[in-house]
Amino acid sequence: MSDQQVTDQGPQPKAKHPGGRPRKPKPAPPLPPPARYSPEETLLMGDQAAAKASPAAQLRWISTRALLVKENQARKDADRHDALEIDNKRLQESIEAFERTKQKLENELREKDRDLVAARTENDGIAAKLKEMSDEHAKQVCELTNNVRASQRKAEGLLALVRCVCLQMKQYSEGQRIQYAAGLMRFSEQAFKKAQRLRELVNNPEAHRERYAAYNRNLRPGPVEQKLNSEQFAQLLRSEAEGIERSMQADRDSLAIEISNFVPAEVMNQAFELLSVSSKQVVQQLDTEQEERKA
């Protein structure tokens, strides 16, 4: 068969009944029988009985059938209503559980927000306090540095004066020059020890302040013994705090003075050379004077 013959060929007709008639559609499968003793079974049996009964009986069956259908429909509606009520109850329980969970999470979130705000406030307070302490310490260090530099400049300025005094002392005897050098060394050592003690206090402001505060607490009687009210006692505490600050400033000023009174070792050696004495002679003189004071 050629390609032209295949192309010109039309659609094939549907298969027909052997007699030439179209096939009949297949009937639908029968419905399953109703459950035993159910309202549907009652209606089915009534319809079957009415089909064989008299017209009067059929009319009576029609009214009875209407009542049965109505009761059956009402029963189905009630069952459907009960099923919807159960679903609605479950849904309400789910909604209530969701609302409780939501409220619990919101309460936890508010508590965490409050804790976060409190932590931030505390952190800001600590940071401000640390900054204040750092600024105060930096200020004190700057003051001490300036005082030390001023003392160094003062010592450099006085070096020429010390040289002149030592040269003038050469007209005295050797014993007098040794006594003078021993007095100068003793004065410098005392200034150095006092400067060390003051430096330990000044470098620790909290301990420095607590030292004077404890001293005031030991001297000051309580508000009951003094018969003071709260305002008067608060004013007394403010006055003591101001006095403590003045005492701390006085210690810082004394530290600068004691540092300026200290004679460095190289300057002391130059003074010994100008006085024509040795450090060994000066140490022996100091030991002798110490033994005399003990005796």
Residue 14 pLDDT grade (very low, low, confident, very high; cuts 50, 70, 90): low
Q: Please give the mean pLDDT across all residues of the chain.
A: 80
23 pLDDT higher than 50? yes
Rounded Cα distance between 286 and 190, Å, is 13
Amino acid at 189: E
Residue 1 pLDDT grade (very low, low, confident, very high; cuts 50, 70, 90): very low
Q: Which of 4-13, 107-116, 134-143, 200-209 has the highest mean pLDDT?
A: 107-116
Q: What is the pLDDT of residue 196?
A: 87
- Residues 226-246 pLDDT 10s: 566 777 777 777 888 888 888
Token pair belonging to 137: 């310490």
Rounded Cα distance between 217 and 211, Å, is 10
CB 247 within 8 A of CB 212: yes
Domain boundaries defined on the chain: 157-294
The pTM for the full model equals: 0.40
CA 36 distance to own-chain centroid:
75
